[in-house]
Structure 1
Amino acid sequence: MAKRDYYEVLGVEKNASADDIKKAYRKKAIQFHPDKNPGDKEAEEKFKEAAEAYDVLSDAQKRQRYDQFGHAGVGGASQQGGGFGGGMSMDDIFSQFGDIFGGHFGGFGGFGGFGGSSRGQRVNRGSDLRVKVKLNLKDVANGVEKKIKVKKDVQCKTCNGSGAEGSDGLKNCDTCRGSGYVTRVANTILGQMQTQSTCPTCHGEGKVVVNKCKACHGEGVVKDEEIITLNIPAGVADGMQLSMSGRGNAARHGGVNGDLLILIEEEQHPELIRDENDLLYNLLLTVPQAALGTTVDVPTVDGKAKVKIDPGTQPGKVLRLRNKGLPSINRYGTGDLLVNVSVYIPESLSASEKEVLTGMDNSPNFQPNKSVKEKIFTRFRNMFD
């Protein structure tokens, strides 16, 4: 696919000044920034395309070669001048051109944020929102979709986030002349020293609101409620924090939205105990069940599972039900359900029950009365019914 004309990409004329090119790129970068267009591959490509165009047109020598020879004249830029050539990563874009945004973009997921210089017009970033979501073990095992209603700052629809009313509601800041920063020169014993700082009038934005929007009072954001769909993956754990990029509070004056941070709270299961991806269950058997063997039901995340108890099963034995635990959040496997066997010993016995047990203890050939034996076994089996 043929590359588009760089002037067309930025929306400027071929005789555009360096300042016009810089402003045009800043506008495009904000429009197609990944945090404002999460998951949008087309926007990501346009973001990279704008960076590539700015890399060439902002450099006087590269621009001259491009004007004379077109794309062929800057084809080696990625090797010779640090250009993008369509193949550079987001980190490269942010590190090379972060000063255009004043270094005020911070903590963008996956890209490391804009770093370095504090020069340039400031782009506001909305604050993050934090919500708590309660999940039961079934939600954790299978993943779940939840809808939540959050109160947040949203972009004002009346002024489209600019904070200004009408096309003439904004103007360049007189203090910094639209640059977003001011330069001061001080005389010291070492000579003149020059410092740059954020403009105190426009707070680094380069623009000031002349006529404030009546709906948002010049802020560019208003309070509203939004229903957000959360897709919680299987395998999350209590205390884990998930993030949804760009779903937090909207920023003043058309900046980049904050993130939505989701804190997981896991509800305690009445019978199962979680141990990372494994589940633990304490199975309580009567003496006859452990001695004679039986089949019992044990709880699982999705219902019940039948477990065979072999005759002569000893207290403390652990039965493993493979893949009946919880999945790894990275889908690398599923834990097991571990059934710990305990045997209940009655605290008091009737005279007839003592007779049977004493006989069993002292004489292997002792055969108690049939009715007494049935009575004891029935009592043991029904101990927890």
Structure 2
Amino acid sequence: MAEYKVNKTVKEINERIRKGKAVVVNAEEMVAIVRKEGKVKAAREIDVVTTGTFSPMCSSGLLFNIGQQPPVMKVSKLWLNNVPCYSGIAAVDAYLGATEPSEDDPLNKVHPGRFAYGGGHVMEDLLRGKAVHLRAEAYGTDCYPRKNLDKDVTLADLPNAVMLNPRNCYQNYNAAVNLTSRTIYTYMGPLKANSSNVNFATAGQLSPLFNDPFYRTIGMGTRIFLGGGIGYVIGEGTQHVQKPKRNERGLPENPSGTLMLKGDFKKMNPRYVRGQSLVGYGASLAVGVGIPIPILNEEMAWFTGVSDADITMPVKDYGYDYPNGIPRELTRASFEELRSGEVTVNGKKTSTVPVTSYSMSLEVADTLKEWIEKGEFLLTEKVEDIPSF
């Protein structure tokens, strides 16, 4: 068991939050504090560091219930604004995936794969109070005789609506280039021919899992900012890499950890839940996620002092290598370099393009900071670890 010069508990920090005495800073501010004061003094002075990210998170969706009306039905197929939902759950429960495209998307009919509207847009429409068209079919049973349902609904009409995201908040990711002679369209955005742009994701020093790389404080039960409301971590996400290769600071060097998240969709804010159309790839959803990191000791102060210069990302070719499953790394670039607007790939100076909004990520972190300072948001202790070794 490590011995620390500073030892705090979540309970003690929450008591300071209740009394309005907690010292809360965002992850960007913590970088300068640790550099100036050192990790021990920073740990004594700071109680909570807030993180944030706002980025396309394709593995997101909405678990909802449409309620019953006489005669009752057991839904077998369901659409919202002609976007198919999965209905093999229970009588009137369904799941809407953020990347599911509308079946009658006019853009898709002209340019296959270039979806203009999908599940993420339906989610944003519902949050904005818009009516969406619900269409449902059933085969009919003795206890559930209705076979068709056709009506407009709003979010208020749905008895239950839960954002349930299988994989969010990637801990590091690839930066993407295209070495072929034609423009390609990917989930990382359009990549011009001959390595003319490098697209990159994550919020760098603001990103939640860079600030707690070994999940010391993040785990099942951690209360978070999700989509402008309150959500929870419910475990590791799909594609979670348990034992990534790490640098000397403990940061993973490749795409690694992920989180599974849930939250009350009805209490979210459409500013932080935005449907997106990624040209040539499909629909997605940009989600705002903020996670508070309690500074329990100097180790956590050190972790949350991570800067963009400390974080490096692999630059990979999405023209040939990625689609063919070749894990070749062309070079590495620090997040600081990527944010500068230009990096060198294969000896060529190449423009960089962020997929994640740093300004919105900072807004998420600052909003969460404000909630905590006002005593409106208390921290929770994890009830189960997320594997990292």
Instruction: Report the TM-score range of the alignment, normalised by the length of the smaller protein.
Output: under 0.3
Q: Which structure features the higher share of helix residues?
A: 1
- The structure with the larger Rg is 1
Higher strand share goes to which structure? 2
Normalization by structure 2: what TM-score? Answer: 0.21
Higher RCO (CA < 8 A, seq sep 6+): 2
TM-score in terms of structure 1 length: 0.21
